[in-house]
Amino acid sequence: MDDKNIEGQLLDELEMDGYQKIDRYNTHKIKQLADKYREILKDIGEDPTRPGLLNTPERVAKALLYFTHGYDMDPAGIIRSALFEEEYSQMVIVKDIELYSLCEHHMVPFFGKAHIAYIPKGKIVGLSKIPRVVDVFARRLQVQERLTNDIKDCLHNTLQPAGVAVVIECTHLCMCMRGVQKQNSVTTTSAFTGEFAKETTRAEFMRLISANLV
Ligand SMILES: Nc1nc2c(ncn2[C@@H]2O[C@H](COP(=O)(O)OP(=O)(O)OP(=O)(O)O)[C@@H](O)[C@H]2O)c(=O)[nH]1
Ligand SMILES: [Zn+2]
């Protein structure tokens, strides 16, 4: 399946789930962006009329719209679409959620993993909605710190749990392929609410996300 079909399929699925009308790929918007990329190609010393680049501006336009499709989505709505009453009050952890985002300073990718936990207080959420919320916030221009807080705030406000924990580990390509050029540095950010303010609860979460239990 080519990139366009994969993107199209993902967006179709999201629309089918009724999250929000997604109108990112209309022809007018793609053309507007593609025209700008044609100019950018000239500015970097390329010839946009050479055969290999003829469709590149449209491809890049669609890719950028895909990389930032989180702007068109409603993360709180995603959580609210699958809330269930349940008397489970232990920690729920979804770890190793891969994410891809764009740093807002250079518009270069940063990518890595999110580890998320919450302690329910009467309500649990459909598990898949947690990675979906990660993607909504990741698919925008971000800094890792705000991405971390956005996810924490969304879960905290919609689930109203006894606590939320978010840890994100990422590689920033703006620090690898340019600038300081450090290939192996990993940035870790975290945000905690409620019960996770307690040292023991936080330590249990950190131990469980570090463990290889499966
Ligand atoms: N805190 C934070 N900084 C980020 C993130 N992504 C990129 N940056 C940093 O944003 C900063 C922008 O700094 P500037 O000095 O304005 O930009 P620059 O001259 O391109 O900086 P260098 O990358 O050091 O070459 C850099 O230090 C980047 O490493 C992020 O998610 N969080
Ligand atoms: Zn950057």
- Asked about 154 being catalytic, the answer comes back as no
Residue 156 known to bind ligand: no
- Dist. CA 175 → ligand 2 center (Å): 7
Is the pLDDT at 53 greater than 50? The verdict is: yes
- Cβ-proximal residues to 164 (8 Å cutoff; 6+ apart), any chain: 116, 117, 118, 152, 155, 156, 191, 192, 193, 194, 196
**Residue percentage of the chain with pLDDT more than 90:** 86
- Dist. CA 105 → ligand 1 center (Å): 6
- Asked about 105 being catalytic, the answer comes back as yes
Q: What is the pLDDT of residues 9-30, one digit of tens each?
A: 665 555 544 444 457 889 999 9
- Dist. CA 194 → ligand 1 center (Å): 31
Average pLDDT over residues 164-168: 98
Q: What is the pLDDT of residues 144-153, one digit of tens each?
A: 999 999 999 9
Domains of the chain: 3-72 (1.10.286.10), 82-210 (3.30.1130.10)
Question: Of residues 20, 106, 176, 204, which has the active-site annotation?
Answer: 106
Residue 170 known to bind ligand: no
Question: Considering only 2-16, 84-98, 156-170, which range has the smallest mean pLDDT?
Answer: 2-16
Residue 154 known to bind ligand: no
Nearest Cα residue to atom 30 of ligand 1: 143
Q: What is the ipTM of this complex?
A: 0.94
| Sign, CA torsion 187/91/161/136 | positive
**What is the chain's mean pLDDT, rounded?**
93
| Residue written as token pair 């993902």 | 10
